Amino acid sequence: MTSDPEPDTDDDSADLATLVLALIGSRHSVAPKRLLAPGPSPAQLLQMVDAAACAPDHRALRPWRLMRIADHQRDALADLFEACSRDRLGNNDAPPSAADLAKSRDKAYRAPTLLLAVLRATPDDPEVPLTERAVTLGAALMNLLLAAHGLGFGAMLTSGRAVRTARFAQAMALAADEQAVCFVSIGTAGTAQRRARATAADFLDDWVAGPAKPGP
């Protein structure tokens, strides 16, 4: 009787690396207006959030959360976008046009699944500044985008001036230690035009050390 051969871990690692690099290399953003129904099922959305939670998190502070905008809340979101536009454009000599306001409202109805990414500044920890917490959120969002792509969906991160206003924070009931960062739109990708990407050489260079300064 012969035993089954042991799996070749080197081959498994190579296959995994190929799959991971193919997933990353093929991912691209799809504008919310080109994201159509169906969106992810509740189970698929949880898979995406589970992937997001795998991001590096120094000292396990969990400095981010995602807020889901339900379908029945889209009208309220449109009202909020319109109010933020009125705040911003109302300082001009002429009041905002109907077309401007309609454009603002329309953004609330794009993509079948809409999430808001929120960054949290507490608990206070001098070892983990806000910049590092933002990196954690960014890594979490990238994981989520890759999971969405792997499950066959398109997605994109979008922001805007409204997201950074006091009115928006109040309407979203954000805590004093929280700030809205961006929306995550997810759905079935329609026609999308991919932008050319920069090469690795555009991002990677070597440190050239200058002369060390003497200490005090």
Output the CA torsion 184→66→55→53 (10° steps). -120
Q: What angle do CA 115, 120, 121 make, to 5 degrees?
A: 160
The whole-angstrom separation of Cα 23 and Cα 30 is: 15
Which of 5-14, 58-67, 128-137, 188-197 is predicted least confidently? 5-14
Report pLDDT digits (tens) over 22-57: 999 999 999 999 999 999 999 999 999 999 999 999
Residue-range domains of the chain with CATH: 29-69+110-191 (3.40.109.10)
Q: What pLDDT, on a 0 to 100 scale, did the predictor assign at position 81?
A: 97
pLDDT for 2 equals 54
Is residue 96 a contact partner of residue 86, using CB atoms and an 8 Å limit?
A: yes
Q: What is the Cα–Cα distance from 83 to 202, expressed in whole angstroms?
A: 41
Instruction: Report residue 93's pLDDT band, with 50, 70 and 90 as the boundaries.
Output: low
pTM: 0.89
Enter the DSSP assignment of 197: P
Q: What is the mean pLDDT of residues 63-67?
A: 98
Gap between the Cα atoms of 179 and 117, Å rounded: 9
**Backbone torsion region of residue 79, taken as left when φ is above 0, otherwise alpha when ψ lies between -120 and 50, otherwise beta:** alpha
Confidence check: pLDDT of 206 > 80: yes
Does the pLDDT of residue 169 top 90, yes or no?
A: yes
The better pLDDT of the pair 14, 77 is held by: 77
pLDDT for 191 beyond 80: no
Residue 146 CA to residue 157 CA, distance in Å, equals: 12
Average pLDDT, stretch 152-156? 98
185: left (phi over 0), alpha (psi -120 to 50) or beta: beta
Is 186 in a helix, a strand, or coil? strand
pLDDT of residue 7: 60
What confidence tens digit (pLDDT) does each residue in 115-145 have? Answer: 999 999 999 999 999 999 999 999 999 999 9
